Amino acid sequence: MQFSVSKEEVLETVKMLQAENLDIRTITMGINILDCYADSGEKIGQKIYEKIVNSASNLVTVGEDIAKKYGIPIVNKRVSITPLAMLVNNLPADEVVIIGKYLDKAASAIGIDFLGGFSALVHKGFTKGDIALISAIPETLATTERVCSSVNVATTKAGINMDAVLMMGQIIKDTAKLTQDRDGIGCAKLVVFCNAAEDNPFMAGAFHGQGEPETTINIGVSGPGVVLNAVKKHPTADFGTLANIIKNTAFKITRTGELVGREASEKLGVPFGIIDLSLAPTPAIGDSVADILEAMGLERVGTHGSTAALAMLNDAIKKGGAMASSYVGGLSGAFIPVSEDEGMIRALNAGSLTFDKLEAMTSVCSVGLDMVAIAGDTTADTIAAIIADEAAIGMINRKTTAVRIIPAPNKNEGDIVEFGGLLGRAPVMKTNQFSATSFVNRQGRIPAPIHSLNN
Amino acid sequence: MEEGNKLIITVLGKDRIGIIAGISNILAEANVNILDINQTILQGFFTMTMVVDNKNSSLDITTLREKLSKKGEQLGLQITTQHEDIFKYMHRI
């Protein structure tokens, strides 16, 4: 067959790969573990370990082979499992901690950096297993390296489980305390969700949802650098043109993910799930979502106009991505984590980005308050109130929102918290000093919202 | 459609004598057939895209890529080697 791509198109692709950090961010294999039920933590742990090692032993090799074949970096290979809480209904928390250690061992055995699914879905209420798992989170995150945890506390259909929100405020505090020698890094592996996505391939919030098949391959594509360069080339284009430019770019990025996903699925003999087209920044220069917003015309992210710019970016990415693949899912949008994005940190240091503006921006982006460091003496009640606000945004807007917040022990506003690697570093943000204690301690659920009378 | 065996080699940099010779030598040694060459020189800046067939290649794509890239360093050029599918996927449905 004749090769029919023009020279300009070839050079554009090469530039994306060479100069603009286009990569496949993650190949995440979802594995159902419901058949690993047993009557003790030790036995369940062993069964899950075997299942993961048997199912995903060649995940890393296949990922590396595809990366070599196409000359495109595949940064992470990861595994997500069924929310573990479903398997531990008869176990006390200390036995769940044992399972966590087996998960860590399994991740290490197959050579992956993170494994998600130490999770519970409690938006409507708790099972015994949910309570055991949640109680086991702090110790698990402190004593393992690769296990990621998430808890879904709210949905649009069920409302917000405020008892779970309050509990998670305390769990986050406890996790920070147990990892205080490392600036509370345990909290960087813990996400509190509203409307959690069942097929999200991105950590720390990945888990293999109930509606998923036995195993599946989900792909996370990124590419803030590619979008940034496209936007920069058109500093005065009107909004319609700008939206088209972003859509075009998102389309091309997603197609690359489609290619890799199809091939990975075939080579692993595992059904292809979805592509998650998310602009996920990294601390690398030029790999920043904040930079894109600034290239759209903001002097610094966080200033007036930031929410509008982000809303447009997020929507254009979804539209471009949806055209490129039959199966787009996960979170798909722009991530705005603070510690992982140089531009966000710059805006914070300049005094442009505040906590309140960040929260406003989360109402139009994918995910939410992500990798935000706050003072170590912030109370559990205040953290619960922060989670409640974020969950409310997700519940009312029918979207996923999340809180990944680090009350860094012994740190105060302006101090720098260092997590290292992909997690980056962040200055401690100022939170509101007034109390919400009486509100978050009321108990019960915030009822699900009405779906008519939309104003 | 049979599985694609074509690679796209791109060369970017300052024009000089021996660029195509250097690259085609490596390809000939590896038993890789050149199907198409498209080259332009704009104000001394050399860009070339080359479509090659590596069906009978004695080298795997990674080794070939490294060899060409090393040659590029010697000549002061950036040489990339990519599988054709990535271009097809990105620019065509």
Q: What is the pLDDT of residues B48-65, one digit of tens each?
A: 999 999 899 999 999 999
> Which of A240, A415, A401, A430 minimizes the C-alpha distance to A336?
A401
Find chain A residues with C-beta within 8 A of B61's C-beta. Answer: 68-69, 71
State yes or no: ipTM above 0.85.
no
Q: pLDDT tens digits, chain A, 455 residues: what are they?
A: 456 788 888 888 888 888 788 889 999 999 999 999 999 999 999 999 999 999 999 999 999 999 998 888 999 999 999 999 999 999 999 999 999 999 999 999 999 999 999 999 999 999 999 999 999 999 999 999 999 999 999 999 999 999 999 999 999 999 999 999 999 999 999 999 999 999 999 999 999 998 999 999 999 988 899 999 999 999 999 999 999 999 999 999 999 999 999 999 999 999 999 999 889 898 888 889 999 999 999 999 999 999 999 999 999 999 999 989 889 888 888 999 999 999 999 999 999 999 999 999 999 998 899 999 999 999 999 999 999 999 999 999 999 999 999 999 999 998 999 988 878 898 999 999 999 999 999 999 999 999 888 77
Find chain A residues with C-beta within 8 A of B67's C-beta. Answer: none
Tell me whether B89 touches chain A (CB under 8 Å): yes
> Which of A27, A17, A104 minimizes the C-alpha distance to A62?
A27
Phi-psi region of A16 (alpha: psi -120 to 50; beta: other; left: phi over 0): alpha
A18·B80 Cβ contact <8 A: yes
- The sign of the CA dihedral A90, A92, A93, A95 is negative
Q: How far apart are CA A156 and CA A420, in angstroms?
A: 35
Nearest CA in chain A to B83: A70
Residue A235, exposed/middle/buried by CB under 10 A (0-12, 13-18, 19+)? Answer: exposed
A5·B83 Cβ contact <8 A: no
Residue B16, min C-alpha distance to chain A (Å):
20
Q: What is the pLDDT of residue A1?
A: 46
Domains, chain B, with CATH or none:
6-91 (3.30.70.260)
> Which of A378, A375, A359 minimizes the C-alpha distance to A367?
A359
Q: How far apart are CA A193 and CA A368, in angstroms?
A: 9
Find chain B residues with C-beta within 8 A of A10's C-beta. Answer: 8, 10, 49, 87
CB contacts < 8 A, A to B, total 68
Q: Tell me the residue type at A180.
A: Q
A10·B8 Cβ contact <8 A: yes
Find chain A residues with C-beta within 8 A of B1's C-beta. Answer: 1
